[in-house]
Chains A and B, each alone.
Chain A
């Protein structure tokens, strides 16, 4: 069965190779706040906010300006997301219509769980901690999906091994 919107099976391994180091390094940087100056560079910001002048407390938005930024966190976010997408949406070794159905069910389930967590966090988490919730929420839908889908596949294989 040919499903056009899935990556070939080998992308799953590539996904893990991208995802694990990027996620670990990303968490380390978040926790420690250490970012090597090597990644300091000029970037084009479609929008950014900054103080109007050095001693002012007024913050204003600026559009389409070149600014200085440490791009390590940007690189890690992109690698983590691409890795997770490859893991989540690569074909199984033996892809068929039942696995495709399980994939769809898992995706709906993951979406519900993800937004349930977000709603609960919105009600009970405030201020800077809520920012962390939003940050992690960038990845949770894919992570929840990967866990759910693979768990369902393991369950399926276990069931099938009893029969014949």
Chain B
């Protein structure tokens, strides 16, 4: 799954640490999500969308490999 957390974060002018605090996870988790190593739970995805004031689909997009 691809995501645009890094882009959205830049738009809001937030550091990884700022965003981590806002969505109540560790900074490492934000970093791992941006690197595509960790797919967040629905709750965390919704929290991110809420902070970025957008909907989930504009942050996360499915890839071919997600159907396998």
Interface of A with B (CB < 8 Å)? Answer: 1, 92, 94, 96-99, 101, 156-157, 159-160, 163-164
Contacts and interface: CB of A to CB of B under 8 A. Distances in A.
Contacts of B51: none
Of A92, A98, A160, A163, most buried by chain B (CB within 10 Å of CB) is A98
Interface residues of B, number: 16
Interface in B3-26: 15-16, 24-26
Nearest to B21: A94
A97 B27 contact: no
Chain A, interface SS category: helix
Contact of B26 (A98, A101, A159, A164): A98
B38 A96 contact: no
A97 B31 contact: no
Interface of B: 15-16, 24-29, 31-32, 34-35, 38, 40-41, 44
Contact of B29 (A96, A163, A164): A96
Contacts, number: 42
A157 B32 CA distance: 10
B31 A160 contact: yes
Given A94-B26, A96-B26, A101 B16 contact: no
A160 B38 contact: no
A94 B29 CA distance: 10
A157 B30 CA distance: 12
A157 B28 contact: yes
Contacts of B38: 98, 101
Contacts of B34: 163
Contacts of B24: 1, 96
A159 B27 CA distance: 11
A163 B31 contact: yes
B27 A160 contact: yes
Contacts of A159: 28, 31-32, 35
Contacts of A164: 15-16
